[in-house]
Structure 1
Amino acid sequence: MKSLQLLLGLSRGQHGVSQSLAIDGVWGATSSNALASFRQGMGIAEQGLLAPADVTLDALRAGLPDGVPAALLWAVMINGSAARIEAFHQPLLAALERYGIDTPLRIAHFLAQVAHESGCLRYTEEIANGQAYEGRKDLGNLQPGDGVRFKGRGLIQLTGRANYRAYGQHCQRDFEADDPAQVSHEPALAVDVAGWFWWRNGLNEWADQDDLRQVTRRINGGYNGLDDRAFYLARARWLLRG
């Protein structure tokens, strides 16, 4: 129901839709009236709630705006909250532009991975305390306490002293001297580090091939959560018409 409310909201001011909808998943009179108004404005005779083959869905999709407005981002990350969508929307748009994530298919793959990795923008820091990374030379964790200090942060998690150093050099910040938790506390950094990881690992190339498994493997090291990532990818591709 939230998805339909968001789609109708994107049509507000067009095709007879004038209602301002609460995005709460509760299908009341206002939502029903908005759907009826849209159908009437589009000359669609169908009634009631949508079925999978309903032509109303095709009409709603055809009328979606270009780009990634906040309502469309929320429709992709349907399990997110309005507050998190608002906080991360502009930083996400900036990262898409900065790192060349600039086609519907690339954007769809990026948003799908971010949705899974962050729990639809809910998490910007891994829940574990990072102790498991202590002494990991492959991550550059050579000093006592590095595992906890440089635990995973960001929408696609930055992990280990060496990776924090590399990202810091990229964005001209010193996360070894300053508090590395900034990467999770500042939405702009949490998003940017995900874009940087994407760019650094050449993931646009795999997204261009629509290869969910390879994109996932390069982020996760395996295929953990593949079904969940596929769920968000399907939503993003449909919404972005990619």
Structure 2
Amino acid sequence: MHVTAAHLRAIANGPAPLAGKLVGPINRYAAEHDITTRRRVGHWLSHMSVETGGFTRLEENLNYKTAARIRAVWPSRFKTDAAAQPFVRNPVALAEKVYGNRRDLGNMQPGDGWKYRGLGPMQTTGRSNFQMVKNATGLDVIAEPDLLLDPDRGTEASALYFAKRVAKHADADAPIASRKAVNGGTHGLAEFKAALARAYKALPQDAPQRASLISPAVEEEPEAAPPAPAVDGLVAKSVKEKLSEVGYTEVGYVDDDWGGKSVAAMSAFENDNGLPITGFPNAENIALLDAAEPGSRPIAKARQNVTAKDIKENSPIVQTTQKSKFEIWIGAAGAALTTVYSAVVDFFGDAWDYLAPVREIATDIPLWAYGAAALLLCFILRNRFERIETARLEAEKTGAITTTPGQDGA
């Protein structure tokens, strides 16, 4: 589908002064990112129209003139006019207020709210989304966010985001879900629906699908798996800390690397909460994670009642501790016999002479004391192994470790 400046003006229902600069990049990046159906193009361009004020600007306008307007845009953050008043005609402070310290956006450092405010035709917002653009294009928009003010680069960023986060909702023609994927809520939904209606009226119908030219006997090459999404280090550390706090301790060491254990922990959290399994932080799972209480991970009843016997087969730790406890009992029995024997011999003084060689080595320590010490050591070691086994069993019950054949944890 080929988009023209006339299409953009029709969707904007106005002059769309940026149409001439955007139409070339729109056609180029639409083809590159499979935004080619009427629904996908319609949703993409309609979002652009809403975010750019009818294709008039490439930067989010945060210079609001009244407290009432600020409250209308962010009702959950500003409950009264008095709360919003300090941010009237104060775009930097407003950006920090509404976008700063937002784990879901990756804005974890001072100044991130303003630095990574909405830029480009679809108002790319948040450090994590700028990082996604950098990883995909090589453009260092983390260091230079204003690169997205260029129509070409900004359109590429918007196509990347749309293809990754919004296209599936466009395919279903679900305007509410589509808007939430772009805006995080339903702000601008009415404007989006109106623009979408104009887009469907202006854009041509999809061309009929051509019959496949590939012989049924010839198999197509399988598509390569998409690369794993990049996770900003600050976001990774923050999310891993929260996962561990909630009870997903399989996340491992809390650092800024999002590796296999992190993917497993997030996947478990998503599964427990009925979310699509992605294994990576996103706005939906982070919002739910932030709302979770510490230690609130749901544990299956069968796991809560597990015993050491249940996990022994696949747990080297339990196997070793139980074997060691058995060996300690043998040692304890030997030490006990030695102690009893020594006491009996000591009682019958005549037999004590037979132990003269031992007495020469340790004349001041009776033999029964050695036996008693050995017995005490056996009990101490057994207690240590008992505690190790108990801790391992508790980890299994709480889900901190899930036993797999031949290993403990992973």
TM-score range, shorter chain: 0.5 to 0.7
The answer to whether structure 1 residue 197 and structure 2 residue 131 are counterparts is no
User: Which of 182, 187, 191 is the aligned partner of 1:219?
Assistant: 182
Matches of residues 147-226 of structure 1 in structure 2 within 5 Å?
147-177=113-143, 179-184=144-149, 186-201=150-165, 203-226=166-189
Q: CA deviation at 1:76?
A: 2.0
How far apart, in 2, do the equivalents of 1:138 and 1:224 lie?
A: 18
> 2:155 and 2:184 mapped to 1: Cα distance?
20
SS in structure 1 opposite 2:142? coil
* 1:146 and 2:112 aligned: yes
Amino acid at match of 2:171: D
Name the CA distance, whole Å, in 1 between partners of 2:15 and 2:155: 15
Question: After superposition, what is the alpha-carbon deviation per residue over 1:39-67, rounded to whole angstroms, capped at 9, x for unaligned?
Answer: xxxxxxxxxxxxxxxxxxxxxxxxxxx62
Cross-structure match for 1:103:
37
Aligned position for 2:236: none
* 1:4-83 aligned within 5 A: 67-81=2-16, 83=17
Matched pairs, number: 173
Distance 2:194 2:156 in 1: 24
Gaps of 5+ in 1: 1-65
Report the TM-score when normalising by structure 1.
Answer: 0.66
Where does residue 54 of structure 1 map in the other structure? none
Change (3 A) 1:182 1:213: same
Q: Note if contact 2:51-2:60 (Cα within 8 Å) is conserved in structure 1.
A: no
Alpha carbons 1:80, 1:119 under 8 Å: kept? no
Q: Percent identity?
A: 29
Consecutive unaligned residues of structure 2, counting only runs of 5 or more, are: 63-91, 206-410
Q: Decide which structure has greater helix share.
A: 2
1:113 is aligned, of 44, 47, 51, to 47
Is 1:84 equivalent to 2:18 in the alignment?
yes
Give the aligned partner of residue 40 of structure 1: none
What is the RMSD computed on CA atoms of the aligned residues? 1.8
Structure 2 length-normalised TM: 0.40
Structure 2 letter corresponding to 1:108: G
SS of residue in 2 equivalent to 1:181: helix
The answer for the alignment partner of 1:125 in structure 2 is 59
Q: Per the alignment, do residues 149 and 234 of structure 1 end up closer, same or farther by CA in structure 2, a change over 3 Å counting?
A: same
Q: Structure 1: which 4+ aligned runs deviate by more than 4 Å?
A: none
Instruction: Answer 1 or 2: higher relative contact order, Cα 8 Å, separation at least 6.
Output: 1
| Alignment-derived partner of residue 32 in structure 1 | none
**For residue 134 of structure 1, what is the aligned residue in structure 2?**
100
Aligned mates of 2:31, 2:127 — CA distance in 1: 27
Give me the whole-angstrom Cα distance separating, in 1, the residues matched to 2:189 and 2:108.
33
The structure with more radius of gyration: 2
Contact preservation (8 Å) 2:176, 2:186? yes
